[in-house]
Chains A and B, each alone.
Chain A
Amino acid sequence: MAFEIGVMTFGEVTKDPATGARPSPRQRVRDTIEQARAADQVGLDVFGVGEHHRSDFVGSAPSILLAAAAAVTERIRLTSSVTVLSSEDPVRVWEQFATIDLLSAGRAEIIAGRGSYTESFPLFGYDLQDYADLFREKLDLLLKIREQNPLTWNGRFRAPLVDADIAPRADGTTIPVWVGVGGSPASAISTGRLGLPMALGLLLGPITFHEQTVQLYRAAAAKAGYDAQALPVSINAHGFVGRSSQHARDVMYPYFAQGMMENNHQRGAGFALSRPVFDAQSSPGSGLLVGSSQEIIDKLLAYHELYGLTRAIIHIGFGGMPQQEHLEAIERLGTDVAPVVRREVAGRVVAAA
């Protein structure tokens, strides 16, 4: 399995802390599609859009953004990052992503998640008390829809399906469904038991943060009869590829700090990420993928060695970032970083075989 490298966005609509300018939502949806096109042109493997139901993101309907991206790209895979499946109707999710799959000639993927933001639950009439049961049931339905058509199915959270014809079907044989895992042991284990690919989310913390997550996942998968070493695992972390180490940190820091302040609320207020703390989180032993091209190469290889990853998706522009900087980072990732990492990982796989 070739190592895949991609980028993702939440479609941030945030005031630039340097200029005070806030991009219009119209501008940001267009920026998002331009990012997808740029990522495709520089040969990146995956483009992801996250789902958030708030005014400071334009990504409340990622499937529509991905459909628009499908029309302007040729080769890149298009994924939600993530679909908040717990508050969605899996029938609708399937219909939308199968349509993207047709538009893109088989490039659609879904990362199903429980959601770390909770706005979608009251919007769609779901109770957060049912958090675990909702996800389990909806994932079950999504996988059944993927497996068979027509489908007869019964559950607690929606009307039963009786011999239901759910169309369109995938362009090829299937649509990959990954599960987004933030690190709780139970999510890792239940994902492993289902033999589904696991997308690891990492906000801040040491690069080794997910060692136990991956161990538990592979052990559960093996116990359930899957080839645990063959299952795809990805890391999804924040980052930015700069001209130099210093440039990368200087560009990313003010936006990322703003993102942490506006999104990571505790005690009703944001979390102030100081520059020394950010710099520490950018060190070789930490998880953030920020630095020069060479630093990112080194860190992706370190991630691969630690976890046996098959994919890395870098979230660029959390907290908002000027489009020009964003596009340049995509270009460096595609032209300087990705070819080296793919070659080095392929070499490791051959050596191990």
Chain B
Amino acid sequence: MTAPVLDGAAPAASAAGTVLRVVVVNGSPNQQSKTMGLVDVILSALGEIVPFEASRIDVYRLGPGFTGATGRDDVTEEVEAALQRAEQADLLIAATPVSHGSYPGMFKHFFDLVGQYALTNKLVLLAATGGGDRHALMLEHAMRPLFGFFQALTVPVAIFASAGDFDGTVLLNPRVHGRTQMALADVAGLLKARVHPG
């Protein structure tokens, strides 16, 4: 199994096209992030199922070449590379904290720059963290419609964790681990169907 690479750079080996390319789009502004604590759990559970190479795009660290862009033509090369990486993923993990009742504007700004048909039929796993359980439906009421616009294939089970499920950024609540297993069982089925259609 290939160890997950989370250095933000595109994995070199993915050019061969044989290893599953997982790209995490991270909507958290924090270096020490519960959202990434949740993604660590998801990737580690995914590693039990299928080999993959992962990379991560931190939308809050893409810089002025990203924040100053009002359209795809305005972005810098590095941002263009990040957008293409997301568009070419085999599995996109859209992970963000709930902020002001939805995903943060910076997260939306990234997807505003993604091509309208660039995510068509793409496998997208939704994950979010929030201060309490009352934020959980953001995944269904805000995140899923966003990928509905893109005509992406969102995984049926979205994964949510509350602040109280974490010690610092380490996810402790076994119920969230269970929810993750359930979501990934569907991911496994969908991946299998894509490799062996019919």
Contact = CB atoms under 8 A, between A and B. Distances in A.
Contacts of B168: 132-133, 136
A9 to B, nearest CB: 27
B174 A186 contact: no
B35 to A, nearest CB: 15
A290 B171 CA distance: 37
B174 A219 contact: yes
Contacts of B101: none
A219 B172 CA distance: 12
B84 interface: no
Nearest to B171: A186
Q: How large is the interface on B (under 10, 10 to 19, 20 to 34, 35 or more residues)?
A: 10 to 19
B173 A189 contact: yes
14 contacts: A132-B168, A133-B168, A136-B168, A183-B164, A184-B163, A184-B164, A186-B164, A186-B167, A187-B167, A189-B172, A189-B173, A189-B174, A190-B172, A216-B173
B174 A216 contact: yes
A339 interface: no
- For the complex of A and B, the 10 pairs showing the least CB-CB separation, nearest first, are A184-B164, A132-B168, A185-B173, A186-B172, A189-B172, A186-B167, A190-B167, A185-B165, A186-B166, A132-B167
Interface of A: 132-133, 136, 183-187, 189-190, 216, 219
B134 interface: no
Contacts of A184: 162-165
A216 B167 CA distance: 14
B163 to A, nearest CB: 8
Nearest to B173: A185
A185 B172 CA distance: 7
Contacts of B173: 185-186, 189, 216
Contacts of A186: 164-167, 172-173
Interface in B153-178: 162-168, 172-175
Contact of B175 (A136, A183, A185): A185
Interface string B111-138: 0000000000000000000000000000
Nearest to A135: B167
A193 to B, nearest CB: 9
A136 B170 CA distance: 12
Contacts of A219: 174
Nearest to B164: A184
B178 to A, nearest CB: 12
Contacts of B165: 184-186
A183 B165 CA distance: 10
Contacts of B175: 185
A136 B166 CA distance: 12
B166 A132 contact: yes
B173 to A, nearest CB: 4
A216 B177 CA distance: 13
A132 B163 CA distance: 11
B47 to A, nearest CB: 22
A60 B166 CA distance: 29
Contacts of A190: 167, 172
Q: Most chain-A CB neighbours within 10 Å: which of B162, B166, B172, B173?
A: B172
Nearest to B163: A184
Nearest to A213: B164
Nearest to B168: A132
A136 B174 contact: no
Nearest to A189: B172
Q: Most chain-B CB neighbours within 10 Å: which of A136, A184, A190, A219?
A: A184
Nearest to B132: A184
A186 B177 CA distance: 13
A133 B167 CA distance: 8
A190 B173 CA distance: 10
Contacts of B163: 184
A184 B165 CA distance: 7
Interface string B168-192: 1000111100000000000000000
A136 to B, nearest CB: 7
A216 B174 CA distance: 8
Contacts of A187: 164, 167
Contacts of A183: 164
A327 B102 CA distance: 51
A217 to B, nearest CB: 11
A189 B164 CA distance: 11
